[in-house]
Structure 1
């Protein structure tokens, strides 16, 4: 009976030691996770200027491309309207000549 009690007492002491060890390990893991999170946050914050600059560079590139595309479209439309104006001018001149040379056509 005394051996049985001693064995139970030893088992309880071992269990308490395991619980204490697990609690210490848990606290160590929590501290490590917090430290890792702080490190990751610091690294992210350190990269913010780089990320911002990269974003701004890409936005500027897209803006330059959009302006170039608009300028290209404007130039195409201007050329089209110039050709159309020349065509209409020629038609107007021909009509004026017909009217001047044959006033009865009115």
Structure 2
């Protein structure tokens, strides 16, 4: 009986040692994971200015393209309106000349 008790006690001590070792590994894994997360966080934070700069450059490029497109459309529309205005001006001049030449044509 004494041998069985001694064996049980030894087994319990071994189990406790295994539990302590597992807990230590678990705690170390948590510390490592926390450390890796903090390192990744710091790396991301250090990259923020470059990301911001890259994004800002893309925005400026798109803005420049948009302004150029709007200017092109504005110029096209201005030319169209100018052509219409010139046509109407000719019609008005013709109507005025005709009215002067023949006042009865109102």
Q: TM-score band, normalised by the shorter chain?
A: over 0.9
Counting only pairs closer than 5 Å after superposition, residues 17-96 of structure 1 correspond to structure 2 as 17-96=17-96
Shift of 1:65: 1.2
Shift of 1:3: 2.0
Structure 2: gaps of 5 or more residues: none
Per-residue displacement from partner, 1:44-97 (whole Å, max 9, x unpaired)? 111111101001101101111111111011111101110011110111111112
**CA distance in 2: counterparts of 1:49 and 1:22, whole angstroms:** 42
Structure 1: gaps of 5 or more residues: none
- When normalised by structure 2's length, the TM-score is 0.94
- Counting matched residue pairs gives 106
- Runs of 4 or more above 6 Å deviation: none
Shift of 1:6: 1.6
**Could you say which residue in structure 1 is the equivalent of 2:6?**
6
- When normalised by structure 1's length, the TM-score is 0.94
SS at match of 1:12: helix
